[in-house]
Chains A and B, each alone.
Chain A
């Protein structure tokens, strides 16, 4: 019932098997292929000077590679076949072993009885070793940092047609299982829009005027209506901001869980997770998932799979609903309160605080500080095309805080007046980099140049195990038409698509190096930027 990841490539059985145990397909295959090539080259070289020292080679190889299924490599009779079989990689052994058998059989008349015996022994060893290796696979992921660390989920590689085909197949497989399989209803694939700047051609770029709902049936049957509504709100920007998106996501999942009924022969813990997969793909296509949403989804999936089998459906559902509520209360609401409490210590009378864009957390902190009668004023820095600062300005002024509003081009003019900079974050990466709205790194840089302290406020549920040092590898491209503006009745960029060499780039995020950030205020306390991996480790141990 679970996705088995069967593809058409050679060695697909192993990929599927490994995918079941680990879930990583792409990079493992690449590594495999590289190793295969290396081994092939090595074997070619060895074969030349191998004839003389066959016996010693055999002994040495047997000793060197005890557990691995490289046993076929140690056998001279099977040497021609090892050119095809990689030696050190355990998993592909089951496939190459039958492959190696056929050329070995072809060489039979030339070999002696002893050699045949040795062959057979080696084959048995290989099979045993491969069985062992495959079961011990989960314990030895070669170069990962920690057992639970996952690489960047789908390396968004939009300009690689092979990856796109895989994604399309994956979406097909995620159709609602069971009775709808006959009608082959599937999650539609949203197509990219417009010319993409070459540096970012590996990312998706969608148009707001072409929503994904165009390709869905109107009384949405494949996807739960709450999820369709959520996806629309994401793609139109009605729900924007890391916290808002997570809360809205959890709210929608609560509705899904409430309306869910377990099919007769299935278990809630396994079936519900599979139910959620197409919804998550759908939401991902409406707007790429944020780090906080990813963590929330991981939490929900863990909660669902931890439900005991004998639990009744009503009980299980109420348990899930309450755990979601708990998550929101703890990680978002209480965390905001804790962060506000610590931050207020950092705000003193007479401060001039600079904020950028509209961060719900920073706004909350400033409002709380104002309630505590601290006298300060705020400078709101804003940037096109989102112009979110206007909303932040509205919220602060509504409370009575005195604000100044500038655009980001005036930041170096206004910084001499500023005593502190408070920034919100979209995610905090494992190497201490802060991923936030585009423009944040610029503000941090200029603030550093003026020796103004930069404080980043971020809840721990936004901490992410990803490692990134630049804003190119993983980012989000917004609708390029947002950059088009009409001034005095003239729209200069109206026909930008007709100019072949013109590309409009509307980036959403950028990363700020930890050198520019002086302090990160989290619900666990005030930590330096480089302590993020510690927090992650502590979190993982807790889980």
Chain B
């Protein structure tokens, strides 16, 4: 049974328990992204509501937050998604947290950092930013513990990427390897983030400052990491964003900036302030970048404790713990376990394969009507109100809600979204069929992507094609 949220906001007449003023972390879910790398799928359905394992995509990060103990989440999204959220049964029933939905314009100009700036008034304490397309079962306390124990400014989550093994519909030829790689430099312990840059920003090679090398002589540079877009940020960072309107994306600009700032000369001298509440910001060198004030009350006491403590985070040189730096960025890299960002078609298919393992719901929805002579593999998922006729075979596939499958249909390795009708005798393999499509009888689809509401004519034979409407083709 959950406490009603009111108990947190009305501080005065409660029993002196923790009030809203001393909440430790606030969760923010970024669900306004457009899914620019999978336009075929997101043409009709906004990315946060794409069904993965018959649940909307944004259910997964919300479930993660709920499991860990959050009671309230600020969701930044578009009006369209908000409307869909309200009508979707899964969101209403399964998500018990209080969702504070903030709508922003759909024109796509607002970056994630801009969105944070937009809700700056609501942010009262340190913030945990999650992207709506993250599907993971990581133990979140590992990331937050790094944030707490080292009093870090930024703590993020990354995972060792696995190659996608499924064939992606519509992909011709081998996968392009000239993707933009991320170079991530960590220290010897693998926790402290020293360097972060994208290949696009490095024109003529990777250059590392001497000051970093002097402080951390051993650096591991990794390129195969997937950024989970889960960040713990100090409140001071949000306030800093409010003043620096030039930063518009968390991942693209803010994180590299913070990582660089760890080693810049100005932040290594401690700024001791008696009263951190008055943010008297003075511009240092006339530039528009205001100083990121990392200070807290009782700074001298903390200093004293650190001085007296016989612990150091590194050894071999003469400097104190953390090299005296106040700005620290940490990363938690997971090797095992599921951590998947659904931002491409390949990732979407992979997610559909892996997501069902995250929850223990029965694979077949109780309201689905499955005839006895249907061969269904154990790793298939059937949504609500489905109708599956005789002599069908469904293996390693996901069927959305209200889908009708007629006789003698073979569905293998595919993802069928909601409201699809598949006529008799079809053979669908390795494909993605979007909502409300109709597949005519006897069609044979291999590794195809059928867009929203499309009709495939009977006896069609398509292989490795993306079948979308002509108006969709006009979109770039």
- The chain A residues found within 8 Å of chain B, CB to CB, are 176-180, 182-183, 211, 213-214, 216-222, 224-225, 228-229, 232-233, 236-241, 243-245, 247-248, 250-251, 254-255, 258-264, 266, 271, 275, 328, 333, 357-358, 360, 388, 390-392, 394, 397-398
Contact = CB atoms under 8 A, between A and B. Distances in A.
Contacts, number: 151
B312 A262 contact: no
Interface stretch (B148-156, B197-205, B282-290, B421-429): B148-156
Nearest to A237: B311
A261 B12 contact: yes
Contacts of B21: 259
A205 B122 CA distance: 43
Contacts of B68: 217-218
B7 interface: yes
Contact of B15 (A222, A263, A360): A263
Nearest to B69: A217
Contacts of B151: 229
A179 B298 contact: no
A251 B27 CA distance: 27
B140 A178 contact: no
Contact of A255 (B26, B140, B298): B298
B1 A182 contact: yes
Nearest to A265: B15
Contacts of A239: 305-306, 309, 311
Given A247-B301, A247-B305, A397 B318 contact: yes
Nearest to A275: B16
A229 B297 CA distance: 15
B144 A218 contact: yes
B301 A254 contact: yes
23 contacts: A183-B2, A211-B145, A214-B139, A214-B141, A219-B69, A221-B18, A221-B69, A221-B71, A225-B22, A225-B24, A228-B148, A239-B311, A241-B310, A244-B306, A247-B308, A258-B297, A259-B18, A261-B11, A263-B15, A266-B16, A271-B16, A328-B301, A397-B318
Contact of B24 (A214, A219, A262, A328): A219
B213 interface: no
B375 interface: no
Interface in B287-344: 297-298, 301-302, 304-312, 315, 318
A261 B14 CA distance: 9
Contact of B310 (A248, A259, A260, A392): A392
Contact of B69 (A218, A261, A328, A390): A218
B378 interface: no
B141 A218 contact: yes
A369 to B, nearest CB: 18
B242 to A, nearest CB: 22
A224 B22 contact: yes
Interface of B: 1-3, 7, 11-19, 21-27, 68-71, 128, 139-141, 144-145, 148-151, 297-298, 301-302, 304-312, 315, 318
B309 to A, nearest CB: 4
B16 A232 contact: no
B311 A248 contact: no
A27 B119 CA distance: 58
5 shortest interchain CB distances as A-B pairs: A217-B69, A178-B15, A358-B310, A244-B309, A263-B16
Given A183-B3, A219-B25, A251-B298, A211 B141 contact: yes
Contacts of A263: 14-16
Nearest to A238: B311
Contacts of B14: 178-179, 263
Nearest to B18: A221
Nearest to A361: B308
Contacts of B144: 213, 218
A221 B2 CA distance: 13
Contact of A251 (B11, B150, B305): B305
Contacts of B17: 176, 178-180, 221
A263 B11 CA distance: 9
B438 to A, nearest CB: 45
Contacts of A258: 297
A232 B305 contact: no
A326 to B, nearest CB: 13
A262 B276 CA distance: 24
Contacts of A254: 298, 301
Contact of B308 (A243, A264, A392): A243
Nearest to A392: B310
B318 A394 contact: yes
Contacts of A328: 301, 304
A386 B144 CA distance: 26
Contacts of B27: 219
Contact of B309 (A182, A218, A238): A238
Nearest to B126: A225
Nearest to B296: A255
